[in-house]
Amino acid sequence: LETLPEESLKENLVTVNQALPPEKDVVLLINTLKKLAADTGVSLGKLELSPGAISTPVAAGKNGGPKEGALNFRLKITGTLEGIKTFAAKIGTTKPLLGLKSLNLNLKEGEGLGADLELDFYYQPLPAFLGKISDPLPAFTAAERQTLEEIAKMPFYGGGIPAEGQIPQGKTDPFRL
């Protein structure tokens, strides 16, 4: 770790955590969907999800180890055909990472054009064990570096993860003006 530049490590950590949150963050998911909808001009309707265990040992894999996963959910949206197409296209190109499993268009009198979507919200718990301190970290492969660069370019629609230096800090002496 001492040989790696600290600034790039911090940037990489923020990028990875924005793309794959370490837990099933339902608030992050809802914020992402609201911002995507506002950006594409569609209206959010019904959201169906069953997150199960969120951030307890049960949410992790066996023996408390990390368990990667996807939170499956269903969403109803309404809007123009162009707005729905743009919403669906942006799903795979934003952080946090979402996957579109299915999309069904429907036209109902008085309601306009709607779509029923089945999506996955991806997350990756932090590892419980990193190995020995004396063991060297494996270097990124060229493909891994390229993937990280592509993810870093994706817009982050979740909000809530402040950038370095934007974290609010209190006074060190509360009695001093």
- Contact between 73 and 47 (Cβ < 8 Å): yes
Residue type, 144: E
Q: Is residue 26 predicted with pLDDT exceeding 50?
A: yes
Classify the C-alpha dihedral 104-156-26-8 as positive or negative: positive
pLDDT in tens, 82-115: 999 999 999 989 999 999 999 999 987 777 899 9
**Could you give the dihedral angle defined by the CA atoms of residues 126, 101, 156 and 17, in that order, rounded to the nearest 10 degrees?**
10
126 vs 144, higher pLDDT: 144
* pLDDT (0 to 100) of residue 120: 94
With cut-offs at 50, 70 and 90, classify the pLDDT of residue 55: low
* pLDDT (0 to 100) of residue 159: 67
Give the global pTM. 0.76
* pLDDT (0 to 100) of residue 132: 80
* pLDDT (0 to 100) of residue 135: 79
Q: Is residue 34 predicted with pLDDT exceeding 50?
A: yes
